[in-house]
Structure 1
Amino acid sequence: MKQTTRAPGATLRLPAGIWVLGCVSMLMDVSSEMIHALLPVYLTAGLGATALAVGVIEGIAEATAAITKVFSGALSDRIGRRKELAALGYGLAALTKPVFPLASSIGWVIAARFIDRIGKGIRGAPRDALVADLAPEGLRGAAFGLRQSLDTLGAFLGPLLAIGLMALFANDFRSVFWVAVIPAVLAFVLILTAVREPPRSPDLRPVRHPLSRAELRLLGKPYWWIVAVAALFTLARFSEAFLILRAEDSGLPLMLLPLVFVGMNAVYALSAWPVGVVSDRTGRAGLLAVGLGLLVVADLVLALAQGLPGLAAGVLLWGLHMGFTQGVLAALVAESVPAELRGTAFGMVNLVTGLALLLASVIAGALWQGFGAEWTFLAGAGFAAISLVALLPLSRRLGTAGRKA
């Protein structure tokens, strides 16, 4: 698909459904990040878990979501509908949020995180395919960037609320977790009532077996190159729970630990939409390379810099690398595959990256426990550098995928 030059205000004319989906993501992220910003310390300080256990829990949780995305994405292609599956995923996540304040042991927290991530897995691929279906031609980078920015705005507001509520409730984790139930329920109600799925085009062929070898072959070589690069990239990105542990290690007070996610997500939210707009006009691969370079620098700063200023710089750079990569990768996936297989495509890439995240988080936890925090982030910088080198010979192919799909 040839890229189209758009007027500066063109992104404001994105369909209302994309804005609503962004707001749904924002509300759910407010809820999730209120919990996630406190969960690593709650596990280690409150329930006696080790850093390795945190890595395993986070890795398993994200891998669970990734595996579920494969089947929900494929199912959305088979039935030709996205909204119902996305709503089911948001509903399940809202339903399981009360488990966190009720948990009395690590086992309960693992169960809650596991079920919550199943909800994320069910909604993820169909929602992203729905964004691609709703986005006008030539504005997919802007559409995914907008959804990512609104999603990340929720991830910015959630920790801020957690900080205020921790002060209000005198460091009572469970009370904060109860308040987090409210935006999750609002997200579910919003997607049910305010999102309208576009009618399926009669030109699209029906897909009866989306996960069959024949259908997966139809995804095409450019798509599988994107998957390979995304997998390498994910190995460099362990769970952000380790940013919280690094902040605690650097001396940040308990009540202020959610500021790590506030700072990271503020930069992420501010950069994702503009980067998506730029990618519609200039191509995707170069922006991915910039994002990987930013991750290398972020990891080196977090490994080697001392004190809270170094921590702040590393966290902000981490957020910027997310803004340069996540929406761009989603747009590449959407544009590199046939429209009737978008759900399957998003599901497969999320499966591969989810398994890579599981491995990365376990490695990060083992390095932290065995050698110290510095080695966790140095290993991340090494993987990011390898990913950057691997991207260089693929950049021409990735650029072609972004322009011609």
Structure 2
Amino acid sequence: MYIASARTGDRVKGKVPGTVVALGAVSLLTDVSAEMVTAFMPVYLLFTLNMSYAQFGVLDGLYTGATAVLRLVGGHVSDRTHRHKAVAAVGYGLSAVTKLVFPLVGASAFGIGATLAADRAGKGLRTAPRDALISLATPPDRLGAAFGLHRAMDTVGALLGPLVTFLLLYVVGTVAGPVFVVSACFAAVGLIVLVAFVRENPRPAPARPSFLSGLALLRQAGYRRVAVASAVLGLATLSDAFVFILVQKATDAPLHLLPLLPLGTALVFLAAAAPAGRLADRVGRWPVFLGGHVLLLGVYVLLLAAGTGYVGVGVALVLHGLFYAATDGVLSARVSGLVPEALRASGLAVVQTGQALARLVSSVAFGFLLQFASFGTAVWAAVGSLVVAVLVAWWLTTRTSPIEIR
């Protein structure tokens, strides 16, 4: 009822526009769907289909970034037509349909990979237009708060998704069908909310930028430094699936708790996302973003400690949640402040694409490392790569002016 009355551009308690609340509801429902699949995949692929870590790394990398180039397509088309909502709806719809395809492909690695690619294609198409809708409806000095609120609502879905998966697994066992069907239902409701309640501000006819206009933004020093630094950090960022697998292995937590580990991260993210966004608006978005990766480094180091048990699980998940609170929406807010309105979605898409491709490389490389090297060696490699990445990103920021650093 509240969403239906919230028009784009209206303020919510004087803080953020109503469109952010509506898009937050869409993301909440969609994230229930997505996180159900994310929570189920390690159990399904590693322990039901008995895939190797190397195979899992390839599929996880595909899930994370193989279709990242479609972020550029989604950003360009939405900027050129100025129909960000319509492009986002196509992406949400494609992801919803794929949830019904997963049970049909069975144990086929090719089928699973193709379906994961289609699912991520949907995410690639929708992410930049959605973030552009948020940034175009929000005053520049409130971008951190707006993205923080959106990510907090998104995280409610991330909390519910693994919980729904856990309950389904508890009731019906490790059967794929019910998980994917329920996931598809949540995705479909999210699409309905988008179509019915999210509105765009009326604007003049777009200037119709070319496909290369977004890439041309890399000529701007401040934007280029943010894009390069975020990609470098992406190379050293393990996917959520690997983080949860490593936490379970390092702490000897029972295997049946693995689908619940994302709940810990999501709880912390939910509590910290909005405060982190407001902090970024006050002290600078880039320092907060870089600090989040230092927290992630703490997660990696903790994996090297033996015998931490449930305390280690808790500390790792708290740090992981704070990492997301300090980085996810904060990066979009930072990039939005560097890009003109006419290229907002394209500018966001270029940075998101670089980060997604970097994480694709990270997942594939770490999967092979975990398959053919010892656990300790793999974790030390992750620690070393993240230390180097943080130092490189910090060096890039020292070459900017104080305005650029914000």
TM-score by length of 1: 0.91
Aligned: 1:373 with 2:375? yes
Q: Is the 8 A contact 2:239 2:363 kept in 1?
A: yes
Q: Output the CA distance in 2 between the equivalents of 1:304 and 1:177.
A: 36
Q: Output the CA distance in 2 between the equivalents of 1:287 and 1:238.
A: 19
Residues 243 and 392 of structure 1, relative CA distance in 2, 3 Å threshold: closer
Q: How many matched pairs?
A: 392
Which among 103, 115, 119 is matched to residue 116 of structure 1? 119
Amino acid at match of 2:18: A
Q: Output the CA distance in 1 between the equivalents of 2:306 and 2:342.
A: 48
Amino acid at match of 1:44: L
Task: Tell me by how many angstroms 1:14 deviates.
Answer: 1.2
Q: Is the 8 A contact 1:94 1:181 kept in 2?
A: yes
Aligned: 1:32 with 2:34? yes
Amino acid at match of 1:364: F
Q: Deviations over 1:269-306 (max 9, x none)?
A: 21111110111122112212321211111111023343
Q: Is the 8 A contact 1:264 1:318 kept in 2?
A: yes
Q: Output the CA distance in 2 between the equivalents of 1:226 and 1:219.
A: 12
Q: Is the 8 A contact 1:243 1:260 kept in 2?
A: no
Aligned to 2:80: 78
Aligned: 1:223 with 2:223? yes
Q: Is the 8 A contact 2:268 2:321 kept in 1?
A: yes
Which among 117, 135, 144 is matched to residue 138 of structure 2? 135
Task: Tell me by how many angstroms 1:379 deviates.
Answer: 2.2
Task: Tell me by how many angstroms 1:65 deviates.
Answer: 3.6
Task: Tell me by how many angstroms 1:219 deviates.
Answer: 6.3
Q: Is the 8 A contact 1:28 1:187 kept in 2?
A: yes
Q: Is the 8 A contact 1:291 1:321 kept in 2?
A: yes
| Aligned alpha-carbon RMSD (Å) | 2.1
Amino acid at match of 2:252: G
Which among 366, 384, 388 is matched to residue 390 of structure 2? 388
Residues 253 and 393 of structure 1, relative CA distance in 2, 3 Å threshold: closer
Residues 33 and 10 of structure 1, relative CA distance in 2, 3 Å threshold: closer
Which among 182, 186, 203 is matched to residue 183 of structure 1? 186
Q: Output the CA distance in 2 between the equivalents of 1:173 and 1:218.
A: 43
Aligned to 1:289: 290
Task: Tell me by how many angstroms 1:378 deviates.
Answer: 2.3
Q: Output the CA distance in 2 between the equivalents of 1:42 and 1:217.
A: 41
Q: Is the 8 A contact 1:247 1:257 kept in 2?
A: no
Task: Tell me by how many angstroms 1:194 deviates.
Answer: 0.4
Q: Output the CA distance in 2 between the equivalents of 1:256 and 1:18.
A: 34
Task: Tell me by how many angstroms 1:352 deviates.
Answer: 1.0
Output aligned runs, 1:6-405, within 5 Å.
13-105=15-107, 106-201=109-204, 206-212=207-213, 216-217=216-217, 220-249=220-249, 250-306=251-307, 307-395=309-397, 397=400, 399-401=402-404
TM-score by length of 2: 0.91
Residues 367 and 312 of structure 1, relative CA distance in 2, 3 Å threshold: farther
Q: Output the CA distance in 1 between the equivalents of 2:403 and 2:264.
A: 34
Q: Output the CA distance in 2 between the equivalents of 1:382 and 1:245.
A: 19
3-state DSSP of counterpart to 1:90: helix
Q: Output the CA distance in 2 between the equivalents of 1:156 and 1:347.
A: 26
Q: Is the 8 A contact 1:235 1:360 kept in 2?
A: yes
- Unpaired segments of 5 or more residues in structure 1? 1-8
Task: Tell me by how many angstroms 1:170 deviates.
Answer: 3.2
Task: Tell me by how many angstroms 1:314 deviates.
Answer: 1.7
Q: Which moved more, 1:168-177 or 1:36-45?
A: 168-177
Task: Tell me by how many angstroms 1:340 deviates.
Answer: 0.7
Amino acid at match of 1:14: V
Q: Is the 8 A contact 1:219 1:336 kept in 2?
A: no
3-state DSSP of counterpart to 1:304: coil
Aligned to 2:6: none
Q: Percent identity?
A: 35
Residues 100 and 303 of structure 1, relative CA distance in 2, 3 Å threshold: farther
Q: Output the CA distance in 2 between the equivalents of 1:247 and 1:11.
A: 40
Q: Output the CA distance in 1 between the equivalents of 2:168 and 2:401.
A: 45
- Unpaired segments of 5 or more residues in structure 2? 1-10
Task: Tell me by how many angstroms 1:263 deviates.
Answer: 0.4
Q: Output the CA distance in 1 between the equivalents of 2:298 and 2:218.
A: 37
